[in-house]
Chains A and B, each alone.
Chain A
Amino acid sequence: EKVMTQSPATLSVSPGDRATLSCRASQSVYSNLAWYQQKPGQAPRLLIYSASTRATGVPARFSGSGSGAEFNLTISSLQSEDFAVYYCLQYKNWAELTFGGGTKVEIK
């Protein structure tokens, strides 16, 4: 089973600052990596797929990078609506998907 480890667990950031979230896989998932944003009381929302492709309607301040086993999600200038929990998901093994534990981005 592929284990996905996200860090940090909590990231305290001021509005307008840059935030970088990390996701590490226990073995290579190539570029089969997606990022999701979840706000309280809501379903997760797809942000990034194939490690670096923004989903439809996702603002350009969100960018994904990496391949193999190391990935980053960067939010270039945090807006108030970006404070949320972010999850990575590997889908290399399409029948056994694995989520990371999440990173909470909170207001500093």
Chain B
Amino acid sequence: DVQLMQSGAEVKKPGESLRISCKTSGYTFNSYWIGWVRQMPGKGLEWVGIVYPDDSDTRYSPSFQGQVTISADKSISTAYLEWSSLKASDSAMYFCVRRDSGWFLDFWGHGTLITVSS
């Protein structure tokens, strides 16, 4: 079975750095794009960006370009979403998601809740 297991909830202060992870199993990690989706409290879903693990080709939503870094480690079938300097407005649930070969998003992680507060 395809599984995407995300790292646990984080509480951070503004200006701190953070990397959250999404460890996958049950499929060939290198062969599928894997992306991230943000959901702010009580709000809808927003596309963050995506990475192709085989060659690390990465694409970002214009809204998130320069704000986060997406990466992947083929050796451990894990994708990452990283911030160098968190802001309170980064507080949200972040889901990792696999992109099917048909381009839609099929499998989702359970989400990682990020709280940024002084």
Q: How many B residues touch A, CB cutoff 8 Å?
A: 23
Q: Which B residues between 65 and 118 are near A, CB-CB below 8 angstroms?
A: 95, 99-100, 102-111
Instruction: Return B27 CB to nearest CB of chain A, in Å.
Output: 14
Interface residues of A, Cβ cutoff 8 Å to B: 1, 32, 34, 36, 38, 42-46, 49-50, 55, 87, 89, 91, 94-102
Interface of B is mostly: strand
A50 adjacent to B102 (CB under 8 Å): yes
Bound-complex Cα distance A67 to B52 (A): 28
Interface residues of B, Cβ cutoff 8 Å to A: 35, 37, 44-47, 50, 59, 61-62, 95, 99-100, 102-111
Identify which of A42, A89, A96, A100 contacts B62 (C-beta below 8 A). Answer: A96
Residues of A within 8 A of B110 (CB): 42-43
Identify which of B37, B50, B62, B104 contacts A46 (C-beta below 8 A). Answer: B104
**Known contacts A44-B45, A96-B62, A99-B47: A91-B95 contact under CB 8 Å:** no
A87 adjacent to B44 (CB under 8 Å): yes
